[in-house]
Amino acid sequence: MTLSLPQHYREILVGLGENPDREGLLDTPQRAAKAMQYLCHGYEQSIEEIVNGALFASDNDEMVIVKDIELYSLCEHHLLPFIGKAHVAYIPTGKVLGLSKIARLVDMFARRLQIQENLTRQIADAIQEVTNAAGVAVVIEAKHMCMMMRGVEKQNSTMNTSVMLGAFRESNTTRMEFLQLIGRSK
């Protein structure tokens, strides 16, 4: 017999030495299961469904940047949150993507079990695939609860990851312009 997600959480409480029948914990398995399903709802979404035709013809070929996109994800190694910001840029070649769609794509990949490096790559590849851009840049800065609350307990360390595609990879000037615009270079 396979257990439901709430039943698994009940077993976790037992495994932790808790009494799942005490008053404060009675509804915890249900609530925890629901919360975890919400934090992982990105598995039920797809790029196509999120973009949903919000691609517009444009002759703009200047860099489009969306800065400071709030990011909440779960590390796949410890199932603990990592929280931070994503900065995304691309150079259109005839098609631009609705701005809110970029944030929603970030969210879709973040709401899965992740490591920050893969998350950064998946966002960049998705933007590239959807827009056929001349270049895509994604930088993520995040704090990992698995570092802050356990193990080394490094409270203030932020992890930075970046993926540069096309023009951002090939042209120093383009990359520097992006890093300057997101405040990541002097």
Q: Say which amino acid occupies 66.
A: V
Residue 157 CB, shortest distance to Zn ion, in Å, is 13
Residue 182 CB, shortest distance to Zn ion, in Å, is 25
Closer CB to Zn ion, residue 25 or residue 113? 113
* Catalytic option among 87, 114, 116, 128: 116
* Catalytic option among 77, 117, 129, 170: 77
Neighbouring CB atoms inside 10 A of 95's CB total 14
- 40 catalytic? Reply is no
Query: Alpha carbon of 39 to those of 5, 21, 24, 34, 66: distances in Å?
Result: 14, 26, 23, 9, 23
Closer CB to Zn ion, residue 74 or residue 97? 74
- Which of 23-31, 119-127, 144-152, 177-185 is the region at the interface with Zn ion (rule: CB under 5 A)? 144-152
CA atoms of 12 and 2, how far apart (whole Å): 15
Query: Alpha carbon of 42 to those of 49, 72, 98, 117, 149: distances in Å?
Result: 12, 12, 19, 17, 25
- 78 catalytic? Reply is yes
What phi and psi values does residue 158 have, to the nearest 5 degrees? -110, 140
Nearest alpha-carbon partner for 87 in 141, 158, 165: 141
**Which residues 9-68 are close enough to bind Zn ion by CB under 5 A?**
none
Site string for Zn ion, 67-86 (x = CB under 5 A): --------x-xx--------
- Contact positions toward Zn ion, by CB under 5 A? 75, 77-78, 146
Catalytic residues, by residue number, are 75-78, 116, 144, 146
